[in-house]
């Protein structure tokens, strides 16, 4: 039944509705694939009993003609989403075996529409990382391998488990989150499609918080249309989230296939970073040519404050993280390491429960929020954030969308940047601006580097203009004709 796992989400939904196979058969095929792919470490928790029970219920609804938008579709869920009665750890020891008594709004929306949960996906601890190496459950291994070496590669982060699972056909699609690029960068490194929606498009309720003003949920999928189908179900106004936007959710898949002739596409000159690999530059030029051939007008634009985005992000995000993570102290749930005093208990619990990268960011955040440094760092970073948003606003007065690379390189080796946090942070150089401005952005696989590893192009749109991104993304997808797949080496690695 391995052919079932190779289906796109759209094809699987069509097959289910036509009764060519059942949801139980689809779930069983994916569960078998997951069991044979544990060398990738994409899942931190497999839920076969739950998956088969949900699939059986889907088959009954399909038989009765009552199937939902995603009825019977098998998905993986990033372990940052709270799932009722199913362990949710955010990739951290400090949450232990925490089983929420509630369901995140995004996953509740998916179950409402008939989706089936295969399990919880690995991730960087508390979503802090760009390589999926900070997870308490160990690193995820990218399904792709370089032509030059068989050494294990990173799938990117923090949604590395989500991207690896979709790339290796261990799920039809997956939920993910993006705080500074954590959907788009892994999508680029694994040859998958990922969209970070407009801030507020998807509810944050029930998602373990990293940086509350930056976090946003979105899907990772096999195709642009699959991502559009998933986002339609994931999105929607939620009164439980004060930042959720009270706007209607369109049928995003309806934008796929629409002509793009006459649209103006901006190419920001500041994204031509020093030392950019030749293959990234060449791919960007091909993307420009593809959109021009489709009838788009290409416009040179400037985003002058781009070079300040990474410094601003790595002040704002840790500041918010230090505040959000203050609640993990061993008192109410999760890990607890006893000490002779209350303060000792706090200190020992947090020291044992948080990994090195999380501790680093909490310390940075506490420092920039401290008396005497708040104005010099945090307040200044917020002013820079405003300037970055203004840059985008000015650009969108002239153009309809922007085209950039997604990541500064193809997949890198596990361990390559582990000892150098700054080198790791540079993976977000093309993505953090979008989070700071609250805009939507889509990564589409568009080519291979000289070693046969996937590379992505990024489309950035106006707030709430995800439909246009899917419209343009489908054009890039068709022009790139990206059909490369990783060789399934992991099936014999167990």
Catalytic residues: 78, 158, 182
Task: Give which of 411, 339, 163 is closest to 350, Cα–Cα.
Answer: 339
Rounded to 5°, the CA angle 43-47-49 comes to: 155
* Nearest-angstrom CA–CA distance, 471 and 468: 5
Distance of CA 321 to the CA centre of its chain: 18
Q: What are phi and psi of 176, to 5 degrees?
A: -155, 175
The continuous run of DSSP H or E covering 221 comes out as: strand 216-221
**Number of CB atoms found within 10 A of residue 120's CB:** 25
* Nearest-angstrom CA–CA distance, 330 and 389: 39
Task: Give which of 233, 207, 196, 275 is closest to 460, Cα–Cα.
Answer: 196
* Nearest-angstrom CA–CA distance, 439 and 389: 9
58, 71 Cβ separation under 8 angstroms: yes
Distance of CA 379 to the CA centre of its chain: 28
The continuous run of DSSP H or E covering 115 comes out as: none
Residue 470 CA neighbour count, 13 Å, CB half: 28
DSSP letter for each residue of 299-352: EEE--TTGGGHHHHHHHHHHHHHHHHGGG-SSSSSS-----SSHHHHHHHHHHH
* Nearest-angstrom CA–CA distance, 173 and 166: 6
Task: Give which of 16, 18, 36 is closest to 26, Cα–Cα.
Answer: 16
279, 361 Cβ separation under 8 angstroms: no
Residue 319 CA neighbour count, 13 Å, CB half: 21
146, 242 Cβ separation under 8 angstroms: no
- Give strand pairing partners of 441: 196, 460
């Amino acid at each position: 039944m391995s052919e079932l796992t190779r289906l796109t989400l759209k094809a699987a939904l069509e097959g289910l509705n036509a009764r060519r196979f059942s949801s139980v058969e689809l779930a069983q095929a994916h569960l078998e694939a997951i069991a044979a792919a544990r060398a990738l470490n994409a899942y931190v928790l497999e839920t076969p009993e739950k998956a088969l029970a949900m699939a059986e219920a889907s088959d009954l609804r399909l038989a009765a003609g009552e199937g939902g938008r995603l009825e019977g579709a098998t998905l993986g869920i990033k372990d940052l989403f709270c799932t009722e009665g199913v362990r949710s750890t955010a990739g951290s020891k400090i949450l232990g075996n925490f089983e929420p008594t509630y369901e995140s709004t995004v996953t509740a929306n998916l179950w409402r529409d008939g989706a089936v949960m295969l399990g919880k996906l690995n991730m960087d601890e508390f979503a802090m990382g760009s390589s999926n190496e900070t997870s308490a459950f160990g690193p995820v291994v990218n399904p792709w391998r370089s032509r030059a070496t068989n050494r294990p590669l990173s799938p990117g982060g923090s949604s590395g488990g989500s991207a690896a699972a979709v790339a290796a056909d261990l799920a039809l699609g997956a939920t993910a989150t993006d705080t500074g690029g954590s959907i788009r960068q892994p999508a680029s490194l694994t040859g998958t499609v990922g969209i970070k929606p407009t801030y507020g498009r998807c509810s944050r309720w029930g998602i373990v918080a990293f940086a509350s003003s930056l976090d946003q949920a979105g899907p990772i999928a096999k195709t642009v249309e699959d991502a559009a189908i998933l986002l339609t179900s994931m999105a929607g106004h939620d009164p439980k989230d004060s930042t959720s936007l009270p706007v209607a959710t369109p049928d995003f898949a309806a934008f796929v296939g629409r002509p793009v002739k006459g649209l103006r596409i901006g190419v920001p000159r500041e994204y031509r970073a020093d030392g950019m690999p030749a293959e990234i530059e060449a791919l960007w030029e091909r993307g420009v040519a593809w959109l021009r051939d489709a009838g788009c007008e290409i416009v040179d634009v400037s985003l002058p404050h781009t070079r300040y985005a990474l410094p601003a992000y790595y002040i704002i995000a840790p500041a918010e993280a230090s505040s959000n993570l203050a609640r993990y102290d061993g008192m109410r749930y999760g890990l607890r390491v006893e000490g002779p005093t209350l303060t000792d208990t706090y200190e020992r619990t947090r020291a044992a429960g948080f990994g090195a990268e999380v501790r680093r960011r909490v310390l940075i955040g506490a420092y920039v929020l401290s008396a005497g440094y708040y104005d010099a760092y945090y307040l200044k970073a917020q002013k820079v954030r405003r300037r970055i948003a203004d840059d985008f606003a000015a650009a969108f007065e002239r153009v309809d969308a922007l085209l950039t690379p997604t990541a500064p390189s193809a997949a890198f080796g596990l361990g390559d940047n582990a000892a150098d946090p700054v080198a790791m942070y540079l993976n977000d150089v093309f993505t953090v601006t979008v989070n700071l401005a609250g805009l939507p952005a889509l990564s589409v696989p568009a080519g291979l580097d000289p070693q046969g590893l996937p590379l992505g192009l990024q489309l950035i749109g106006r707030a709430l203009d995800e439909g246009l991104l899917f419209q343009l993304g489908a054009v890039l997808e068709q022009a790139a004709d990206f059909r490369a797949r990783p060789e399934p080496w992991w099936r014999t690695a167990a």
